[in-house]
Structure 1
Amino acid sequence: MRLRLALVSALLVTGLASHEARAQVSDNVVKIGVLNDQTGLYADLGGPGSVVAAKMAVEDFGGTVLGRPIEVISGDHQNKSDVGAAIAREWFDVGKVDMAIGFDHSAVALAVSALGAEKNRIVIGGAIGSTAFTGKSCTPTAASWIYDSYALTTSLAKAVVAEGRDSWFFLTVDYTFGHSLEADATAAVKAAGGKVLGSVRHPLNTADFSSYLLQAQASGAKVVAFANGGGDMVNATKQANEFGLAKDQSIVSLLVFISDVHSMQLQAAQGLKFVTAFYWDRNEETRVWSKRFFERFNRMPTMPQAAVYSAITHYLGAIVAAGTDEARAVMAKMRERPVNDFYVKGGKLREDGRLVHDMYLAQVKTPAESRGPWDYYKILATIPGDQAFRSLAEGGCPLVR
């Protein structure tokens, strides 16, 4: 009898020890770093609001995971890839950050993704336009949670060309994101039977678009497409209206955030068609979460801010499922488990790091159509995820067998 009790006790101890060995959290804390533009032209679309969303996700999860506290820190990369990489390196080496998220800048995201693979840390991109992030530059520990230039441009270009607006001219921000937007939009326009008459590139954070808009006007193109975002898109749109471009040419923005529309106001933004991953007023679930966010931040959430909450919640759930915060084990669980929340339903994280989910073709309301502040979008159509994003085989990710 004593021998049997001793054996049972030994098995219980062994089982507990085995469970403790499996449930491991490095440094006894799960640390998440939100790295983005906190003060510049992209701050409205992510910035401090993404930090608020991250903290909401942690609080809603209960503040701990596997019995260990969860900590959120933030950094400002100033839209410079070297600054972003330096912050991330310090976070990974000294600060023991387990996951970096946000970026909202393709060049910064690509630099941090490579560093994350080297250091075995998870890197989740938010507003990342470059298709290289989940293509030729994909890594085992990186994911892209919102869109890429293919998803933003393909359905939009098809819809606009079908309306008879079949000649295009691009005004493009001159870095990885803008180049990727223009390339994918060009391919989509040509595939739909349209033609591209030319393009011009401008530096990031441009104040005066007059010379670029004059070139667009002189092209005679039916569509002037802005392949930029944030403050650049807002300034370009305002100045295009002042130039009177919209009288003879259609203005199309390849990337629109609700913060942009709020900044421009409906009089300037009305009629813009675009593709988005999220709108706060799409259904009851999005409204409930967004109103909670508004109570904290006094603004309705953009798609990057909503995505930060979604990605962190999914990441923390994967830690529980894996029993560890080790990056590759967690990524495996993130791929296994579907993403189901107010932001995404039935989302699937692919082998190349792309979160595949529905996108939405939207249009900015007229002032007469709007019921008040933040009532800005009409959802025209749902684009299923398998149509919105390029196929796994087309991406060129070396991880895909």
Structure 2
Amino acid sequence: MNASVKSVHGGVRKPLGLALALMTFAVPALAQDGPVRLGVLTDMSSLYADNGGPGSVVVAQMAVDDFKGKVLGRPIEIVAGDHQNKADIGATIARRWLENENVEAILDVPNSAVALAVQGITRDKKKLFLATGAATSRLTGDECSPTGIHWTYDTYALSQGTTKAISRLGAKSWFFLSADYSLGVQLEADSRKVIDATGGKVVGAVKHPINTPDFSSFLLQAQASKADVIALADAGGDFVNAVKQAGEFGVTRGQKLAGLLVFINDIHSLGLQSAQGLMLSSAFYWDLNDETRAWSRRYIEKTGKVPSMIHAGTYGAVMHYLKAVEAAGTLDGPVVAAKMRELPVNDFMTRNGKIRPDGRLVRDMYLFRVKAPEESKYQFDYYQLLATIRGEEAFRSMEDGGCPLVKKS
């Protein structure tokens, strides 16, 4: 091989080593002059758009603005992408961002199948993945990553809150209506463990396609099972449609519906008349205290909508990432990820949160009951707090997760 390359200046040839040195010296210099880009990869127009979607872009920009718009002397820029709930599309966007567009961290991703694909790519590229929208507990289990942080909630914590609470009220038999992809599979699996541990029994289960408009055949199977509880292991528009159609079929007259992943935006879509009495777990409620109210009012003023736990989590993750970058003095993915684990998480949503070696942010979770219409006194007054579940109880232990990053004792 000829040890030289052609220069762009008049055909002058230089030794290859010198040319490469010049190239590798110049490219980072250009990158270092540009903005620090954070990518919000979300569902912009389908069944999860209300829970993440455009609102996640809004809160990411809020965090950047609150951080004064710069880190390490460079402007911060938010870019957004729509994964359309397809893992191949999400993976393509993630690769383009990381390889060609200087994106340093990817956030949100409210679809577990897409999130698992993104986790693999960011792990290989040594870039940050802040999973603020995805649910699957595999992100801190067998698919954990040194540069992956599961921020807001997961399937294990949701099952610990809702399934355990309903079991304590006397429910003995369960039927699962689950979304037929990673979210439904993991949410059902984690909930089954709780049911077994509390002496309950799963009498049946059926899987439905994502974003299906017709739940009739699935609900009729659930109704025929005569289970005490029909557990909805799905989310967003699927959850809303299932609850609406269950009411139309009269399913709720003899059986309880349990939403295992419920967002306040879903309750808003359903209305309190349809959702009243439902118990659910959440990492955030806008009306929990003065700090959550103050931040949420800012979001409501910008959007006219109530913020979800994904929105609150995305804001918090951006802020913590930027603090870690500033403290570390670098954008290097593994170094920043280590600094994020080192620093405690404190904001309006989280008190003294800790990011474990497996990437799980441990914080308190909450159990709520949806209010009846007559109990609601003002806009978005939807929940009554039933219990606070301490983070150590809510989230799976590292030892039980199977994360390869966790050293065996």
Residue in structure 2 matched with residue 117 of structure 1 by the alignment: 123
1:280 matched to 2:319? The reply is no
SS of aligned partner of 1:368: helix
In 2, distance between residues paired with 1:227 and 1:113? 22
Residue in structure 2 matched with residue 79 of structure 1 by the alignment: 85
Residue in structure 2 matched with residue 31 of structure 1 by the alignment: 37
Residue in structure 2 matched with residue 11 of structure 1 by the alignment: none
1:306 matched to 2:312? The reply is yes
Structure 2 unaligned residues grouped into runs of 5+: 1-29
Residue in structure 1 matched with residue 219 of structure 2 by the alignment: 213
Of residues 90, 93, 100 in structure 2, which corresponds to 1:94? Answer: 100
1:389 matched to 2:395? The reply is yes
In the TM superposition, 1:170-249 aligns within 5 A as: 170-249=176-255
1:339 matched to 2:345? The reply is yes
- C-alpha deviation, 1:26, in angstroms: 4.3
In 1, distance between residues paired with 2:66 and 2:135? 29
In 1, distance between residues paired with 2:291 and 2:37? 28
Structure 1 unaligned residues grouped into runs of 5+: 1-23
Check conservation: 2:33, 2:74, Cα contact below 8 A: no
- C-alpha deviation, 1:28, in angstroms: 3.9
- Give the direction of change, closer, same or farther, for the CA distance of 1:27–1:108 in structure 2 (3 Å limit): farther
Residue in structure 1 matched with residue 140 of structure 2 by the alignment: 134
In the TM superposition, 1:257-268 aligns within 5 A as: 257-268=263-274
Of residues 293, 314, 321 in structure 2, which corresponds to 1:315? Answer: 321
> For each residue in 1:300-346, what CA deviation from the matched residue of structure 2 results, as whole angstroms up to 9, or x when unmatched?
11000110100000000000110011111111110010000001111
- C-alpha deviation, 1:126, in angstroms: 1.5
In 2, distance between residues paired with 1:124 and 1:254? 22
Residue in structure 2 matched with residue 361 of structure 1 by the alignment: 367
In 1, distance between residues paired with 2:304 and 2:376? 19
- C-alpha deviation, 1:373, in angstroms: 2.3
SS of aligned partner of 2:373: coil
Of residues 296, 304, 309 in structure 2, which corresponds to 1:290? Answer: 296
Of residues 163, 169, 190 in structure 2, which corresponds to 1:157? Answer: 163
Residue in structure 2 matched with residue 16 of structure 1 by the alignment: none
TM-score, length basis structure 2:
0.91
TM-score, length basis structure 1:
0.93
- Structure 1 runs (4+) greater than 6 angstroms displaced: none
Check conservation: 2:36, 2:75, Cα contact below 8 A: yes
> For each residue in 1:209-264, what CA deviation from the matched residue of structure 2 results, as whole angstroms up to 9, or x when unmatched?
00000000000101011000000000000000111111100111101101000000
RMSD: 1.1
> For each residue in 1:75-110, what CA deviation from the matched residue of structure 2 results, as whole angstroms up to 9, or x when unmatched?
000000000000000000111100000001111111
SS of aligned partner of 2:93: helix
Check conservation: 1:230, 1:257, Cα contact below 8 A: yes
Residue in structure 1 matched with residue 12 of structure 2 by the alignment: none
**Percent identity between the aligned chains?**
54
